[in-house]
Amino acid sequence: LGQTSLRKAPAGGPSESEHFSAWPVLKDLEGREKGDAVSRKIGDRFLVARVIRGLVEDDLVADPGSLEQQVRSLRLEVERVRPSDAEERIWDRILMASTSFDFEELTAAVLEWGRIVEGQGHLNGAQEILSLAYQLARQMGSSRQAADAARYLGKVYRTKARWSEAFRWYEVARDIAEEAGPPEQLAAVMDGLANAHRDRGNLPRAREILEEVLDLGRKTGSRYAKAIGHHDLMTVEKLRGDLPSAIRHGWMAVQNYDSRDGRFRALFDLAGVLREKGELPAAWDAYLVVSEQVEGLEAQVLCFDALAFVAALKGDQARHDLYRKKLDAMGWQRVSPVYRGQVLYYRGLSCRALGIEGEARTWLMQALAFAEEHGLNKLVFDAEAALESSAPAPIVVPTAQDALSQDLLGVREGLRDLRETLVGAGRPG
C-alpha cells in the first residue's frame, strides 16, 4: 500500500490558519446574495464538512452516541436532501458512513464530494473537502486515494493560480503514485503536473513531462497513459503554433482512448485544431461524429455551435442557419454561463464570416455584456478583441505540402470513415 511514501507525505490540511473547524468552506460565500439558494447550500456544506473535520482531528475516534446525536441534529439543520442533486446525495452517504464508522466508504465519498464541489466552481470548499479526503486516506493507509486527493488538490490550486501549492501537491501525488499506484494513476498525476506548467506558460517543461507520460505508456502498455499524453501534447503543440504536430497527437489520442467519453473529448479538441489549420471538411467530420453520439445538453450545444461556425467559415449560410435553428430548438439558454457566453460569441464570429457585420457586432456586444456580468474574463478579452476588428478571424490556408502530408491524409481519411459509418447507420452526414 505504499506505507513508506505515505509516511513521508505531508499531513495536509488547510494552508491558512484555522479560525474554526472547516471555515474555508464559507469563503465561497464572498460576493453572494445572503439567503439565496447557492448561499444556503454553501452553509449546509459547511455543516457537513465540520462533522468530518472533527472526526479527522480526533484521529477517527468518536463516541458513537455523541456522533449519532451530532448527525441527527445536523439532519434537522440541513435543508431537505433532493435525490436529483448529486452533492446532496453524497451528504447522505457521508453521514451514514460516519455514524457506521465505515471509514473506507467515508473516504471514497468525501473524495467524490470534493470533485463535485470543484465542478461547481466553489474552489475554497473544494480545497477544504479534498484536504479532508487526503487526511482520511492517510489515516486509513490508502495510498491510491491519498494520491488522487493530492492530485485533485493540485488541480484546485492550479485553477486558483496558486502555483507553489499546485506544484507541491502534484509532487506529493507523484511521490505516492510512483511507489504504490498503477501506471494509469501515475500518468494522470504527471499529466496534471504538465498542465500546471503549461498554464504557467512553461511549454518546454510541459512538453517534456508529457513525453515522459507517453514513455510510461509505451513501457507499461497503458493505452490510457498514451491517450492522455497525446491529448495534452495536442494542446501544447497548438499553443506553440505547430498545428500539424498538434493534429498528429490529437489523432493518436482518439485512437488510444478506450473510453467513449475520452474519445469524444479528443475528437472535439482535434476538430478545433483542424478548424484553425483550415482543414474545414475534416473539422466538420469530427464535430459531426461527436454531435451524433454524445449525450447531454451542454455537449450537444457545444457541438452544434461548432458545426454552425464551421458552416459559416465555409460560406454555407443555409447549413449555418439550420444548426442555429437546432440550437434554438434545444434551448441553449439553459446551459451553464460559460457555454451560453460561448454561443453568443460564436454567433457573432459566424455572422462576420458570412459578411453580416451589423448582426455580428450585436451578438459580440451581447457576448461582452454577458461575460462582464458573469465574470468570464477570457470571454471579455476575446469579445473586446473581436469588437475592435471588423475582419473575420484569419484561417490558415492548407498548403500544397499539407495536401501531401501523410499524417494529414491519414487524419482526413480516418475522420471521413467515421462520418461515413454514421451515414451507413442511418444518421445524417
pLDDT at 61: 87
pLDDT along the chain (429 residues), means of 10: 55 49 85 78 91 90 86 78 78 92 95 94 94 96 96 95 95 94 95 95 96 98 98 97 95 96 96 95 95 90 97 97 96 90 97 96 97 87 92 59 69 90 61
pLDDT at 427: 56
pLDDT at 12: 61
Instruction: Tell me the C-alpha distance between 79 and 73, whole Å.
Output: 12
pTM score, two decimals? 0.84
The domain segmentation of the chain, as residue ranges, is 1-159, 296-397
